Amino acid sequence: MDYEDTLDRALSETPDEAEDAHRFEVPDPTIRQEGNATVYENFEETYDRLARDRDHLLKFLQTELGTSASIDARGRARFTGSFRERRVADAIDEYVDAYVRCDECESPDTRLVDEQGATVLKCDACGALSPVPDQ
């Protein structure tokens, strides 16, 4: 048994997954006012990054912002009324806490799955199942 080999192997196996989890960045919302509506320019990029269903996220934002919303031809979300970028970013943070980040290990590497008729958050990193709020 060679000491150097053992050391090399130990170093290369040091997990850096925890660090990866903390590097997870949600794109900042790009918000533009258009008349009486607020347009979320990079909505598509956001749900893509979160790996979540477009309508699931849109429904959550409608509830959080207390308004109605639709998706336009270019895939942008349009909210009725005027909302600041900060307000939308806070709502996205809430969504990530509730429906994306694992309660146990903080990993964003998760999926929403059906478990005996209820939707739960399944973590691909640690295998934990966490309850999610009803929408």
Give me the least distance between CB of 14 and Zn ion, in Å please.
19
Site for Zn ion, rule CB under 5 A: 102, 104-105, 107, 123, 125-126, 128
Q: Indicate the SS3 state at residue 82.
A: coil
Q: Is the Cβ of residue 17 or residue 34 nearer to Zn ion in the bound state? A: 17
* Identity at 1, one-letter amino acid code: M
Number of H helices and E strands in the chain, helices first, is 5, 7
Give me the least distance between CB of 125 and Zn ion, in Å please.
5
Q: Is the Cβ of residue 89 or residue 96 nearer to Zn ion in the bound state? A: 96
Q: Is the Cβ of residue 59 or residue 111 nearer to Zn ion in the bound state? A: 111
- β-bridge partners, 31: 40
Give me the least distance between CB of 122 and Zn ion, in Å please.
9
Give me the least distance between CB of 101 and Zn ion, in Å please.
9
> Which phi and psi angles does 101 have, rounded to 5°?
-80, 135
Residue of 107, 77, 76 whose CA lies nearest to 68: 77
Q: Where are the alpha helices (DSSP H) in 67-120?
A: 85-99
Q: Is the Cβ of residue 18 or residue 118 nearer to Zn ion in the bound state? A: 18
